Amino acid sequence: MPEVIAHRGFKRLYPENTLLAFTQARNAGATTIELDLQLTKDNQIVICHDSTTDRVFDKSVNIHNSTFAEVMQLRTLKEPHESMPSLANLLNWIQKPENHGLKLMFDIKRFNRMEILSILQQQLLDTEPQGCQTDDEKLKFWGSKLIIGLWNLPQYSYTVDHHLFENFEKAIITFSIGEALKILKVSDQQDPKDQLKGISLLHVATWDKGLFKNIGSMGLYQKNHAAVSPLKYFFLNYVVPQKVKFYVWTVNNSADMDWCLNFPFIAGIIGDNPDILAEKVKVLSDVAPEPVDDDQRRLEYFKSKLAMLYKLRPWFFTKLAIRRMLFLRLYKLCLFIFSWKLQEVNVLWRWNVGKLLFDFNKAVGLV
């Protein structure tokens, strides 16, 4: 069964990216908490999705241009008006006995200065978990608790060049499995301790017709699948052979949850409704098959699950089919904007292409 990953905590009911939201997500059944890291002007790491704070907090500041003391004065607009957590707050919180077994998935926002990666590892070393004395012991402890989410090749290359997060689960967060494959090819050339161990993909990208072509005849490591379907190539070359874990985000609609829960070999589902997802996982866990370790048996399981999933595909002119068709158009627009680096182009005084696109996608439920 996939991990229930709470997107910015229990975001639906509580102020996002706060310790309250994280605690309530755990209480609702989440097994992993996804959260966002930003770096202040004076090199302190705080937990916030946006670099500017007016969407969530009572005052508008740019975190990257503000001091730690300044952002600590902010309170959420949503009751009960929580403060922005620091990384230190978070690391102390995750070590509490009631959080034993809970993991954290860090989304290290790509517009931070690259030094955030070095500062993050140093702060992990400066925090002394119980029973850990040496740096190796501390990193082993944090490696068991954290997933390090990176957005692009420069971030990943920085971790390799500076020997950061070795043997941690490092995952690429992406809109496009094609872009992820380019980074995975670089990862394949690295020492095993530096290689990527996960991909976190926008779930709309799993609606790939090419994935369902010639299900019966597909085999492992067939390079021609890259031309037909990058997603199929990714599964056959990385997921089925257990080279990387596969996560999807942001899954809030009940039908989308069902789609992802029936998708083969998904390691975790990220969403704003951990209570609903946890209940669905609980029901399915009673009939879950035993884990399969042999590559050939995993391939056969993959093919059988695809055949079952194909039957769940919504057909033309149903409400879900129309919604997905519209979302796919938006998804392709997002890919175009990010591939051409247009998201920072200013349109109006406070608005750029990326913000307009994000606000529109949010309005229609894509993010």
Strand partners of residue 146: 104
In the predicted model, residues of the chain with pLDDT beneath 70 are 220-227, 287-289, 316-317, 349-350, 362, 364-367
Q: Is the peptide bond preceding residue 2 cis, with omega within 30 degrees of 0?
A: no
C-alpha triplet 102, 108, 113: angle, nearest 5°:
150
The pTM score is: 0.91
Q: Rounded to an integer, what distance in angstroms lies between the CA atom of residue 100 and that of residue 334?
A: 38
User: Across the chain, where does the E strand assignment appear?
Assistant: 3-7, 32-39, 45-47, 103-108, 146-150, 169-174, 198-202, 245-249, 268-271
Residue 196: its pLDDT value, please?
98
Residue 320: its pLDDT value, please?
73
At residue 320, φ and ψ (nearest 5 deg) are -70, -40
Dihedral sign, Cα of residue 235, residue 240, residue 244, residue 247: positive
Alpha-carbon distance values, 311 to 263, 271, 308 (Å): 12, 24, 5
- Burial, 5: exposed, middle or buried (Cβ in 10 Å; 0-12, 13-18, 19+)? buried
At residue 198, φ and ψ (nearest 5 deg) are -160, 155
The domains located in the chain, with CATH, are 3-313 (3.20.20.190), 314-367 (no CATH)
pLDDT tens, 148-160? 999 999 999 999 9
